[in-house]
């Protein structure tokens, strides 16, 4: 396949998924008596405001980190559904310990990040140990660990980590982080938004670059991709599968631990019962949408957070904003279907191309050549 063909097939699937999702959502809107075109127009218009841009970028940061965590597992056929539980516990511990200790600013932030990374890795480590030692599928164990994390977090929070409640306040939370543990934000270089972009953006970008380097530019990444693509071949070439599984799940959990940090260090500064949930699951969608590609996942995260943000304007138009949840679900489902369909198309095209090349070489004077006959996408 030529490079252009490859790019065409790579972009065909997300484009088709987006079109399908827009069409299905338009149908849903239309059936419930709303004008889809004006609704979409309003959403786009609203998203262009300066405040919206800041909010979209901010919301995309945790989604992107969650997607990176999931993608690390995907690269070697491991499914870490447990990001949700890993980041919840990590955020709780970081919020609590961060308020307990006092350190100079850069050290304090690093300490919090370290706590989050360790807690996330430990929680994922349970699934990793069960998988390598007892052969328990990480899919099931991480689903169970998600629910266990919710219970454990609720227990620790209520019993030990909660700050004494202020008079007349209904909201329970941990002690707010001191100024030294907060990560400063920055203004948009254009416009005059009243809100700031979280400084965590740079950490997220660094994580994305780190992910790329690790997966495509290191020995470990090569082993990891090899194990994902063909486990028995990788083993035959000397890769220890148990160790790879252990490392990958621990790494995935460590990254997942950071998912709650942008919010904690950039906006809420404390953990409470309303701490944002569900990013782990949306992150799976983003990873699938972006095909585990660091740039693709960034686009996916921005798309999902654009939908989240622009849903706010729908409320004012008397359109239930929940249509956005349908859009996200349909985008995800049509994306995975589209990838599969396009993969089959590409396979067929390749087989056809190979067959015609083979026919050419046979009829030519050089006789039969094995080149070009092998290899699939």
Partner 1 sequence: MTTTQPEPAGVVPTAPQASAAGRPTRTPIGSASRILLVAAGLFVLLSLIATVTDSPDLTSSGTFGASLRLAVPIGLAGLGGLWAERAGVVNIGLEGMMILGTWFGAWAGWKYGVWWGVPAAVLGGAAGGLVHAIATVTFGVDHIVSGVAINILGGGVTRYLGSLVFTADTGGSASLSPGVRGRIGTFTMPFLSGGDLFGWQTPDILGRIERWDWVVLSDVAGLGRGLTRDVSYLTLIAIALVPITWYLLWRTAFGLRLRSVGENPTAADSLGVPVYRFKYIAVVVSGALAGLGGAVLSIEAARVYREGQVAGRGFIGLAALIFGNWRPGGLAAGSAFFGFTDALQLRDPGSVHALLLFVAVAAGLLALVAARRGVLLRSGIIFVVGMLFLVWFLVQDSVPAQFVAITPYVATLLVLGVFSQRLRPPAADGVRWRKGEHT
Under the rule (CB under 8 A), what is the footprint of partner 1?
Answer: 28, 32, 76-79, 81, 126, 130-131, 134-137, 139-141, 143-145, 147-148, 150-152, 154-155, 158-159, 227-232, 235, 241, 244-245, 281-282, 284-285, 288, 320, 322-326, 328-330, 332-333, 336-337, 340-341
Closer CB to partner 1, residue 22 or residue 152?
152
Closer CB to partner 1, residue 144 or residue 353?
144
Count CB atoms within 10 A of the CB of residue 129.
Answer: 15
Distance CA 307, CA 147 (A): 27
The nearest distance, CB 289 to partner 1, in angstroms, is 11
What three-state secondary structure class fits 140?
helix
Task: Tell me, rounded to whole angstroms, the distance of Cα 161 from its chain centroid.
Answer: 28
The nearest distance, CB 145 to partner 1, in angstroms, is 8
Residue 220: how many CA atoms within 13 Å on its side-chain side?
Answer: 14
Closer CB to partner 1, residue 152 or residue 205?
152
Distance CA 148, CA 162 (A): 19
- DSSP conformational letter for 180: G
Distance CA 139, CA 155 (A): 25
The nearest distance, CB 151 to partner 1, in angstroms, is 4
Closer CB to partner 1, residue 133 or residue 202?
133
The nearest distance, CB 206 to partner 1, in angstroms, is 28
Closer CB to partner 1, residue 154 or residue 355?
154
Find residue 186's DSSP bridge partners.
Answer: 197
Contact 256, 66 (CB under 8 A): yes
Closer CB to partner 1, residue 178 or residue 329?
329
The nearest distance, CB 148 to partner 1, in angstroms, is 5
Distance CA 27, CA 32 (A): 9
Closer CB to partner 1, residue 305 or residue 328?
328
Closer CB to partner 1, residue 45 or residue 340?
340
Closer CB to partner 1, residue 48 or residue 344?
344
**In terms of C-beta density within 10 A (0-12 exposed, 13-18 middle, 19 or more buried), how is residue 144 classed?**
middle
Give the tokens for residue 140.
């099931």
Phi and psi, residue 272, nearest 5° = -140, 180
The nearest distance, CB 373 to partner 1, in angstroms, is 18
The nearest distance, CB 157 to partner 1, in angstroms, is 9
Contact 68, 214 (CB under 8 A): no
Distance CA 4, CA 74 (A): 26
Diameter of the chain measured on Cα atoms: 93
The nearest distance, CB 227 to partner 1, in angstroms, is 6
Closer CB to partner 1, residue 142 or residue 268?
142
Q: Give 58's contacts (C-beta < 8 A, 6+ positions apart).
A: 197, 198, 262, 266, 267, 305
The nearest distance, CB 138 to partner 1, in angstroms, is 9
Phi and psi, residue 320, nearest 5° = -60, 125
The nearest distance, CB 134 to partner 1, in angstroms, is 5
| Integer angstrom CA distances of residue 299 from 22, 144, 203, 253, 272 | 17, 30, 17, 23, 30
């Amino acid at each position: 396949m030529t490079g252009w063909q490859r790019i065409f097939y790579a972009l065909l699937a997300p484009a088709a998924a987006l079109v399908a999702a827009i069409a299905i959502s338009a149908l849903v809107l239309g059936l419930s008596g709303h004008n889809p075109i004006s609704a979409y127009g309003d959403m786009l218009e609203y998203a262009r405001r300066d405040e919206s841009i800041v909010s979209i970028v901010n919301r995309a940061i945790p989604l992107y980190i969650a997607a990176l965590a999931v993608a690390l597992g995907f690269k070697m056929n491991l499914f870490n559904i447990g990001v949700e539980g890993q980041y919840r516990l990590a955020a709780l511990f970081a919020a609590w310990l961060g308020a307990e200790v006092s350190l100079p600013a850069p050290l304090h932030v690093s300490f919090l990040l370290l706590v989050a990374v360790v807690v996330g890795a430990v929680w994922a480590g349970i699934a990793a140990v069960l998988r390598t030692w007892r052969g328990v599928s990480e899919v099931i164990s991480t689903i169970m660990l998600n629910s266990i994390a919710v219970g454990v977090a609720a227990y620790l929070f209520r019993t030990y980590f909660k700050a004494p409640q202020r008079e007349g306040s209904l909201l329970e939370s941990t002690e707010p982080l001191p100024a030294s543990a907060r990560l400063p934000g920055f203004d948009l270089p254009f416009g005059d938004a009243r809100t700031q972009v979280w400084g965590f953006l740079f950490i997220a970008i660094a994580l994305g670059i780190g992910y790329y380097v690790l997966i495509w530019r290191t020995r470990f990444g090569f082993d990891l991709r090899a194990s994902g693509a063909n486990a028995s071949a990788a083993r035959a070439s000397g890769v220890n599968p148990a160790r790879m599984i252990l490392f990958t799940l621990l790494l995935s959990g460590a990254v997942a631990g950071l998912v709650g940090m942008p919010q904690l260090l950039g906006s809420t500064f404390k953990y409470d019962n309303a701490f944002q949930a569900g990013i782990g699951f949306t992150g799976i969608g983003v990873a699938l949408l972006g095909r585990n590609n660091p740039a693709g996942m960034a686009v996916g995260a921005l798309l999902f957070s654009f939908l989240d943000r622009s849903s706010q304007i729908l409320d004012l138009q008397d359109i239930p904003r929940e249509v956005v949840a349908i859009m996200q679900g349909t985008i995800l489902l049509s994306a995975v279907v589209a990838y599969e369909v396009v993969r089959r198309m590409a396979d067929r095209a390749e087989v056809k191309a190979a067959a015609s090349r083979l026919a050419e070489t046979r009829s030519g004077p050089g006789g039969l050549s094995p080149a070009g006959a092998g290899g699939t996408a």
